[in-house]
Structure 1
Amino acid sequence: MSLLHSRIVGEGQPLIILHGFLGMGDNWKTLANKFAEDGFQVHLVDQRNHGRSFHDPGFSYALMARDLLAYMDHHGMESASFIGHSMGGKTLMEFATQNPQRVSKMIVADIAPKAYPQHHQAILNGLTVLWEASLTGRSQADELLSQYVAEPGVRQFLLKNLYWVDKGVLGLRMNLPALKQHIEEVGKPLADQARFNGPSLFLRGAKSDYILPVDEIMIKRHFPAAIIDEVSAAGHWLHAENPREFYQNVIDFL
């Protein structure tokens, strides 16, 4: 079985961070350094078909949870604490409910166990244009993508996927064909019977609508010990929009 790519920072208790859809572990570098200073060995994992991890035609939360188990076994980790953002939070929920003994504490960032409608179409259309273009520079890629994605911050996040395939030729790291084919998987809910009784913290962005007050009942059903809290002045990318408050919430919980 292929092993997930990761960047490991620091020494101490293992803390595994799972990025969101179209992201990669490197998005969390700055926070990882802070957690490392607090005595954690931080594993910035790239999930399958993302970042530097392997490309595979299969893509689902069941598969991503299996990848995570193989990663822990490979690194000899009995258990770890976890942070999962968005899609990474869904992977984490799946993993924790299947392997409760491997999860010391879990922090889920701005995602609930419910089903979400597919809402990435404009982004995927823009990335498809990049995938099919002969890209020679980042400004060219940004210009093309701006026709599909208006927000500069979101474009900047997506363009972190660019890398030099050859001299003068840019490509995208993610496995775009597989992600497009399985896009419906990203919004799938947690199975009805799934439960994790261990310590869990759900953090929502105050300006985000990914976790609504009505979702708290469902969160508590799947995660009876869950604490649900909020990061002020932040939307869905709460760890990037208000890193100080996000970090403080997480470190207090850990």
Structure 2
Amino acid sequence: MILYSNIIGEGKPFIILHGFLGMSDNWKTLGRQFSQQGFQVHLVDQRNHGRSFWDENFNYEILAEDLKNYCKAHNLNDIVLLGHSMGGKTAMMFSALYPNLVSKLLVADISPRFYPVHHQTILEGLSALNFDVIKSRGEADKVLSEFVSDFGTRQFLLKNLYWVEKGKLGLRINLDVLKAEVAEIGEALPSYLRFEKDVLFLKGDRSEYIGVEDEQLILNQFPNAKIVTIANSGHWLHAENPKDFFTAVIKFVG
């Protein structure tokens, strides 16, 4: 089974991996901008997300293998690879396991370390969406607001809504599996894995995902890494400050 993707432009292959509960559509605007710089941009949906296939198996080694199969199916090598959050962990794992396929790696607001589970309330809110009763996006937002107070986070989550059939909404994510395997999202990259090529870690200045204590850990596994801070942004740095994010990425890959 091959991952779904939206491919934009022509040129050097540039793969972008979304985060947990996200999808390739989250990166469409930046993807177009990167394509205008001479890249063929592949906006990929990881398994159990977006329009890609559902499967009960879910961990970073499997997600990396999915990406290897995707590259083989599309005859891609020497790729630029960018991943955000969960996608960043997949990108790190993939680059360490298949370094011959990657020319440059970019990791957005995630470290190789372990992160404790912290999505429980969001998953409870998504589980509370009863589509036998809910018939509109507004009704879904009202139910979700009882669990998730932040409007921007709810809008991000509600991008997963789609019409299964006329009058019947559903979620594109495989919620049951993601709930069951949520602990896998925070798993650390095995400490023996290394990637020796150029890496750019981007962190939001208001985010706590990459702290000072992470810097040595990053360099231990990615000795040619640089860490750049994106101002006026949190964990969703690419959405909160897309201009500076774009500039930092192009400076690195150009």
TM-score, length-scaled by structure 2: 0.98
Residue 203 of structure 1 aligns to which amino acid in structure 2? Answer: L
8 Å contact kept, 1:131–1:171: no
8 Å contact kept, 1:134–1:169: no
Distance 1:131-1:248 versus aligned 2 partners, 3 A rule: farther
Counterparts of 2:29 and 2:130, CA distance in 1:
28
Counterparts of 2:66 and 2:78, CA distance in 1:
15
* Offset from partner CA, 1:64-92 (integer Å, 9 cap, x none): 00000000000001220011000000000
Shift of 1:60: 0.3
Shift of 1:57: 0.5
Counterparts of 2:132 and 2:236, CA distance in 1:
28
- Gaps spanning 5+ residues in structure 1: where? none
Shift of 1:132: 5.9
Distance 1:55-1:131 versus aligned 2 partners, 3 A rule: farther
Which residue pairs with 1:138 in the alignment? 137
Counterparts of 2:134 and 2:68, CA distance in 1:
37
Q: Does 1:177 align with 2:167?
A: no
Residue 160 of structure 1 aligns to which amino acid in structure 2? Answer: K
User: Between the two proteins, what is the percent identity of the paired residues?
Assistant: 54
Shift of 1:135: 2.4
* Offset from partner CA, 1:32-87 (integer Å, 9 cap, x none): 01001101000000000000000001100010000000000000012200110000
Which residue pairs with 2:50 in the alignment? 51
* Offset from partner CA, 1:105-161 (integer Å, 9 cap, x none): 010000000000000000000000115653210000000000000000000000000
1:88-237 superposed matches below 5 A: 88-130=87-129, 133-237=132-236
8 Å contact kept, 1:131–1:172: no
8 Å contact kept, 1:135–1:171: no
Distance 1:160-1:126 versus aligned 2 partners, 3 A rule: same
3-state SS in 2 of match to 1:108: strand
Counterparts of 2:78 and 2:135, CA distance in 1:
44
Shift of 1:192: 1.1
8 Å contact kept, 1:197–1:224: yes
Residue 99 of structure 2 aligns to which amino acid in structure 1? Answer: P
* RMSD over aligned Cα atoms: 0.8
Q: Does 1:73 align with 2:108?
A: no
Between Structure 1 and Structure 2, how many residues are aligned?
253
8 Å contact kept, 1:24–1:46: yes
8 Å contact kept, 1:126–1:147: yes
Spell out structure 1 runs of 4+ moving beyond 3 A. Answer: 131-134
- Gaps spanning 5+ residues in structure 2: where? none
* Offset from partner CA, 1:175-207 (integer Å, 9 cap, x none): 000000100000000001000001100000000
Counterparts of 2:98 and 2:42, CA distance in 1:
18
